[in-house]
Amino acid sequence: MKILAIESSCDETAAAVVEDGRQVLSSVVASQVEEHKLYGGVVPEIASRRHAEAIVPVVSQALSDASVTLRDIEAIAVTYAPGLIGALLVGVNFAKGLSLSTGIPLVPTHHLRSHIASNYISNPDLKPPFLCLIVSGGHSHIVMVEDYTKMKIIGRTRDDAAGEAFDKAARTMGMPYPGGIALDKVAEDGDAHAFRLPRPVVHDAPYDFSFSGLKTAVINLIHNAAQKGTELNKADVCASFRYAVVDCLSTNFLKAAQDLGVSKLVIAGGVSANRLLRRTLADECQRRGYQLFMPDVSLCGDNAAMVGSQGYYEFCGGNIAGTDLNAFATMPIDALSF
């Protein structure tokens, strides 16, 4: 079964053709990163306009690269939540128009479910159930994936997401957008124990995260040094902060796995490309005898191949929408509304 997938939740306009949920026939991404760098982050209005400009050529290229036409497509999967509402609406409305004009079924796909599904592409033998850590610029979740379309939230951030904390810390140090990627690179040359940073704990929810205080601590460290005229070793600051964030993520994730008796672990989302997170979990899982599955780094960021993968399982589960499908800026991963 060939699915045309469309992704426009943030600042990448993407389209892909995916067969049977696992085989990527084409994947095209038009990134807006260079333009948003000028502003230090994503400007929603600009993102929406660029999606509108890019979506037709991106979809056309995806079909061409896969050597298929719309006659070969059996479903259209589109990200409809969560994300920037204006950006989402571009993809949703384009997909609805395409579905209406061709009669091809329309499959609404949740962005975070799609990030999980990137692992089905990278790891063809992976099947639920498993425990997944989803870490990105806007989300930090621990999710029990009971089946391809049945999920339960075990833990989540109470404030900032891990990716947001990385980006803001990097911006404070004058690093270009996207800051998390730049911080990760610089941290490789630093001493992770150079600075003592807090490990916030949510006492009434042992699997939940809180990164706001940790983010504030590193920003205060940088500002206080600047006010005193003290020069900090940037690599050491990056390494110490990265170590603290990864420590919080891995500690809660592994505790949840142990408490729930789950030995098959998965990571997903943009921050799953973080080098220390991947190394730490790989080492810990090997030590504990757990299986660990990670997406290829090329699939960690937003793309449409992951949408096509999850869209296949949503279609098989009967999750089909009509032309009244709407976009939603927020929506839990364990809920569907269309």
- pLDDT tens string 141-192: 999 999 999 999 999 999 999 999 999 999 999 998 888 999 999 999 999 9
Taking a C-beta distance cutoff of 8 angstroms, is the pair 35, 70 a contact? Answer: no
Taking a C-beta distance cutoff of 8 angstroms, is the pair 262, 223 a contact? Answer: no
Assign 262 to helix, strand or coil: coil
Which token pair is 131? 């425990």
> Mind listing the pLDDT tens digit for each residue in 198-233?
998 888 899 999 999 999 999 999 999 999 999 999
Task: Tell me the pLDDT of the chain averaged across its residues.
Answer: 95
pLDDT of residue 182: 92
Task: Order across the sheet with 12-19: list the strands.
Answer: 23-31, 12-19, 2-7, 75-81, 106-110
C-alpha torsion 27→10→125→135, nearest 10: 150
Taking a C-beta distance cutoff of 8 angstroms, is the pair 116, 143 a contact? Answer: yes
pLDDT of residue 337: 60
Placement of tokens 């339960």 in the chain: 152
CA distance 333 to 37: 29
Q: For the domain 2-116+300-316, what is the CATH superfamily, name and number?
A: ATPase, nucleotide binding domain (3.30.420.40)
Instruction: Answer yes or no: pTM beyond 0.85.
Output: yes
Phi, psi of 15 (to 5 degrees): -145, 150
pLDDT of residue 33: 87
pLDDT mean over 11-40: 94
C-alpha distances out from residue 287 to 257, 263, 280, 282, Å? 14, 12, 11, 9
Amino acid at 105: P
> Mind listing the pLDDT tens digit for each residue in 288-305?
999 999 999 999 999 999
pLDDT of residue 334: 87
pLDDT of residue 338: 58
> Mind listing the pLDDT tens digit for each residue in 258-286?
999 999 999 999 999 999 999 999 999 99
Taking a C-beta distance cutoff of 8 angstroms, is the pair 1, 20 a contact? Answer: yes
Taking a C-beta distance cutoff of 8 angstroms, is the pair 312, 3 a contact? Answer: yes
| Partner residues linked to 151 by β-bridges | 145
CA distance 8 to 87: 6
Amino acid at 108: P
What's the CATH fold of domain 128-294? Nucleotidyltransferase; domain 5 (3.30.420)
pLDDT of residue 40: 82
pLDDT mean over 64-71: 98
Name the segment(s) of the chain with CATH classification 3.30.420.40.
2-116+300-316, 128-294
Q: What percent of the chain has pLDDT over 90?
A: 91
pLDDT band at 4 (very low <50, low <70, confident <90, very high): very high
pLDDT mean over 92-110: 98
pLDDT band at 307 (very low <50, low <70, confident <90, very high): very high
